[in-house]
Structure 1
Amino acid sequence: MTDPNRDVNGKNRIKDRVLTSGLTMSVNYDPVQGSMYQEIERALEMNIQEDKDWVVLHNVLTGEKLSGIDALNYGKRFGAFLEQRGFKIGQVVHLILGNHNMTFPICFGAWILGGCISSGDVNLEPRSLSQQLNSLSTRFLICTPDTKDLAVEALNMVDRPQDIQAFCLGPNDMFEDLSATLKNIDSIECPDPVDVDTNSDVPIVFWSSGTTGHPKAICHTHFSALRMAGVSVNFLTPKTNVVTTTCFFHMGGFFAAMLSFVRHLSCYHMFGPDFQLEHLLNTIVSAKPKSITIGTHHYVQLAESELLANANPEDLASLEYIAPAGAAVPRSCAAFYHKMCPNLKVENIATGEGCCPYEEGELCYKTPVVMKGYHNRAKENAAFFDHEGYAHSGDLVYYTPDGDIHYVDRLKEIIKYKNNHVAPTELEDIMQRHPAVQECLVFGKPNDEVQELISAVVVLKPGQKVSAEDLRSFVNNEVTDYKKIRGQIILSNHIPRNSMGKLVRREMREWARHQGNPKDTDIHAPILSSQMLAH
């Protein structure tokens, strides 16, 4: 049987390149010569020798700064500290630090000793945090004064709290002040970096957002993490500024900041409850970055805000590209955003066969940046990797005859109406074009007769008024019959997102399941739980 992903000569039709905001780049990987720490230390010291030290991290919300030399120095101090506390190769240090600048020196110190960093979400419930600590047999827990109470509650729930040493970056009433302790340690006390197997040892674990259940531990080897950094290098020009609103405990935010040490960049980051759009726009104006990485919710909010409408275009002229992260981007705010991997296929989700051009299917890939697997999740790993070694992305895409890939939606977000598959982002894009709409989320409400009723929650722009029926007509007039919104349209002050900025349609469907069948609603008070509305 012929593979429609390939031409008559067997060549993959899908292009091996990165496409974002219309910018085309070839894919170049920097060679991997050592561990995460060794590679970062080598690049950082070379940058300092060739030029001079510089401020790598700027926390816009707190004003705190971290230079390259200080990062190396504190990394070695933390390595010496861990050795003094009995740290062993392969043990796990779990961080609940948010976007604290000390995140990276702590990573450096753990990696020197062959340890693993678990990058924890500061917005988790204590029970979920305790499950993560148990899952990885965590031995060290680092928090801040802001997350100290979360750490205390989680430690009271873990299986063996006596096995976990907890520390706090700052004065507090429960744990040893790690910041004060490190000041009294000399970096020369740090041992030399241990030897690691770059293809199998895991230096960094991220956690899935939990949209399909409990968060899963996403394990990256030194090789896959450094290869991922190599892909990102394509977008980064040395000695420039970058701006991000993403969190360090998310893969995108972590690498955006980490690469600043490697590529001689200054990273202005701003994640936390005090964030306002003014922080983002003012930083773009003052820092004049070439690139920004922001949550898609911030992308939409900024695109629809008066701040951007009133900004002087000359103040934004430094920007060459914007990388939204976390969810699909409405086409009304930007053009297509495309995905890349060097060994790709688009697979029919029903038959498993290759798709033809313009036929929607799941993007599957082989690439050096793919994770090692989910920790202790054999069933999920079997579903993620197929028998040919392809990773199943969960992304619904199609490709053109020219080989360009167009992203449609996440497969798990697809709404099923009478056995028809409906991508919610298509309807959100139409709804977003309504002049009164600031943000929207389309979801499926379970229904025994039709599988799911297409429904929506909408946030209006300040001062705007429009009825649910007007919004329904606005969308339904542009789509085929099975894509029409037949369920509720809820007007609200909030869109449910998790701490990473991802839309949480699963929680919205669960909320709708318990609402009976009320008429379209105009609600101007919060309708969702605080956990669902986190950032």
Structure 2
Amino acid sequence: MTVRSPYADIDIPDVGLPEFLFSDLGEHAESVAIIDGPSGRKVTFQELADAVDRFAAALGERGLGKGDVIAMFAPNNPYYPVVFHGALAAGVAVTTLNSMYTPDEVAFQLRDSGAKLLVTISPFLDRARAALRAEGLAVAEVVLMDDARDEASTPMPENALADLLTTSAERPSVSISGDDVAALPYSSGTTGRAKGVVLTHRNLVANLLQFGAIGDTNSDSKILAVLPFFHIYGMTCMMNNGIYKRATVVTMPKFDLAEFLRIISEHRVDRVFIAPPIAVALAKHPMVEQYDIDCVDVIFSGAAALDADLGHKVAKRLNCTVFQGYGMTELSPVSHAMPEDKPDMDLSSIGYALPNIECKLVDPETGEEGPRGELWVKGPNVMREYLNNQQATDDTLDADGYLHTGDVATVTDDGVFYIVDRVKELIKYKGYQVPPAELEALLLTNDSVADAAVIGIKDSEGEEIPKAFVVKQEGASLSEDDVMSFVAERIAPHKKVRAVEFIDQIPKSGSGKILRKDLRARENTSA
């Protein structure tokens, strides 16, 4: 049973993303495109477009062009879209790194993506420099957005973005089609270590048109971008969607509740994109009452499932409308969303499939299609492939072009979808992906650990967290805190193990596969 979007298909132009966004600024050239939330500094659409051209020219001067990749390792700031779109305008693809990554994680993504230039900020330099000392990297230069360099020895040249933007060179003349690679965000997909998701210009242009069809964002809107641009949700729904709709995007480098509320109040933000943990604060924290945020009209939640009761509490407290949607990096990212012209839609749903999308619900055991099953998605926003990983691509994308999401869904006769379960092993902690296999591999490097398995469990607030089941080596002295500290020292904060249980044996199948369902049953019994 194939379920198509209830919306009419949209024509997707065969153009590069920068041309799609900046080719005709018209009456909006002098409108404010970006506001730096902390400082209040403003950038107009024309200033942004000019800076994009200059950065593209600077990359061209360095001999970078089609087929090359640069990396961004930075929090949200007004220069982020300059670098991102400047690279794309030069025909260069961009891989975006998680701001919380450790040097080892940074080095892995730089090596895997083949990035030739790294753009970062001075507070991240210690980690960046440590990563760049790893072997097998192609990076030849570091560009600093803030140029607050120190005297430390560096593995390669470091230059200021401001200096690059003074170039008098012409923007390179590059023919960019929709099939060219634009972005390489990294995702854990359904299993395993993070993989580069190959997103084309067509993927990103298509998803802006698809998502825009169900929303009311316009040139009078102000969007708060507190969720990171390195994540596909922030990249598409906040940064690029704001530019596309000629709205004003207000950037925040990280979430801090007081600053979050101050910026909303001061800049009269009316559209706020969040992940569920922020909804908890908005619904419960007394600080919310101290700020005038009655300007907020719409809150859109993504990256993880939003509890409907929690969403209703936020809506009531802020006197706004709360929506949610569904997506993943491999979908650029949005495939389903609640449309803004249906504010009374069931908030526990993920809404309709967006235009140009068709879906199947397939029983993962029998392969039969029906009203409940693993959600398969087909459309112009579906990634091209996983970078350098044909097996993972074949496991996720089938011959008919359907992406197998790993999430179990149901659909009503009216085409409203609900996510009800998960096939994949991935843990979602505060909207971030945590692959159990990566944590298990790390735990097994500890000499005191004989075996380990990791699953997601719910904490006291209903948040999914990673829990490790650990078998000690005979005679080893190992505490729960020892295990958690060992992992925390070697991995990004969002991937930390947050609960530990010692057991005698990890349940496994005859082929050696960890039986996570048995561990979940054990957890449910003891809860």
Report the TM-score when normalising by structure 2: 0.71
Q: 1:55 aligns with which of 32, 37, 46?
A: 32
Q: 2:470 aligns with which of 508, 513, 521?
A: 513
The 1:183–1:369 alpha-carbon spacing in structure 2 relative to 1, beyond 3 Å, is: closer
Show the counterpart of 2:16. Answer: 35
Residue 381 of structure 1: how far off its partner (Å): 0.8
Show the counterpart of 2:140. Answer: 164
Residues of 1 paired with 2:456 and 2:121: CA distance? 43
Runs of 4+ in 1 over 6 A off after TM superposition: 451-454
Secondary structure of 1:458's aligned partner:
coil
Residues of 2 paired with 1:453 and 1:143: CA distance? 33
1:343 aligns with 2:358: yes
**AA matched with 2:208:** A
Show the counterpart of 1:458. Answer: 460
After superposition, residues 9-158 of structure 1 pair within 5 angstroms as 12=2, 14=3, 16-17=5-6, 26=7, 29=10, 31-43=12-24, 45-46=25-26, 50-158=27-135
Residue 15 of structure 1: how far off its partner (Å): 5.8
1:230 aligns with 2:206: no
**AA matched with 2:262:** N
Residue 91 of structure 1: how far off its partner (Å): 0.6
Show the counterpart of 2:278. Answer: 298
Residue 115 of structure 1: how far off its partner (Å): 0.9
Deviations 1:326-376 (A, max 9, x none): 2111232122141524211111121111123xx3x2111111111111101
Identity %: 21
Show the counterpart of 2:412. Answer: 400
Show the counterpart of 2:247. Answer: 265
After superposition, residues 344-363 of structure 1 pair within 5 angstroms as 344-356=359-371, 359=372, 361-363=373-375
Deviations 1:474-518 (A, max 9, x none): xxxxxxxxxxxxxxxxxxxxx6xxxxxxx5x4xx232x43699xx
Residue 304 of structure 1: how far off its partner (Å): 2.3
**AA matched with 1:509:** K
The 1:27–1:277 alpha-carbon spacing in structure 2 relative to 1, beyond 3 Å, is: farther
Q: CA RMSD in A?
A: 3.4
Secondary structure of 1:185's aligned partner:
coil
| More divergent stretch after superposition (337-346 vs 392-401) | 337-346
Residue 215 of structure 1: how far off its partner (Å): 1.1
After superposition, residues 251-400 of structure 1 pair within 5 angstroms as 251-255=232-236, 256-272=238-254, 275-308=255-288, 310=289, 315-334=292-311, 335-339=347-351, 340-341=353-354, 342-356=357-371, 359=372, 361-400=373-412
The 1:220–1:52 alpha-carbon spacing in structure 2 relative to 1, beyond 3 Å, is: closer
Residues of 1 paired with 2:205 and 2:53: CA distance? 21
**AA matched with 1:228:** N
Q: 1:203 aligns with which of 157, 165, 182?
A: 182
**AA matched with 1:70:** E
Secondary structure of 1:167's aligned partner:
strand
Residue 231 of structure 1: how far off its partner (Å): 1.6
Deviations 1:236-263 (A, max 9, x none): 2222111132101011111211222221
Residues of 1 paired with 2:368 and 2:417: CA distance? 17
Q: Contact between 1:79 and 1:113, CA under 8 Å: does it hold in 2? A: yes
Residues of 2 paired with 1:211 and 1:125: CA distance? 23
Residue 532 of structure 1: how far off its partner (Å): 5.9
Deviations 1:364-402 (A, max 9, x none): 111111111110111111111123221111222111233
**AA matched with 2:192:** G
Residue 211 of structure 1: how far off its partner (Å): 8.2
Structure 2: 5+ residue runs without aligned partners?
Answer: 312-346, 441-452, 474-479, 496-527
Residues of 2 paired with 1:204 and 1:383: CA distance? 21
| More divergent stretch after superposition (396-405 vs 167-176) | 167-176
The 1:210–1:55 alpha-carbon spacing in structure 2 relative to 1, beyond 3 Å, is: same
**AA matched with 2:130:** E
Q: Contact between 2:409 and 2:421, CA under 8 Å: does it hold in 1? A: yes
Secondary structure of 2:110's aligned partner:
helix
Residues of 1 paired with 2:109 and 2:455: CA distance? 35
Residue 307 of structure 1: how far off its partner (Å): 3.0
Secondary structure of 1:333's aligned partner:
helix
Q: Name the count of aligned residue pairs.
A: 420
Residues of 2 paired with 1:454 and 1:213: CA distance? 15
Q: 1:242 aligns with which of 223, 226, 245?
A: 223
Residues of 2 paired with 1:283 and 1:121: CA distance? 24
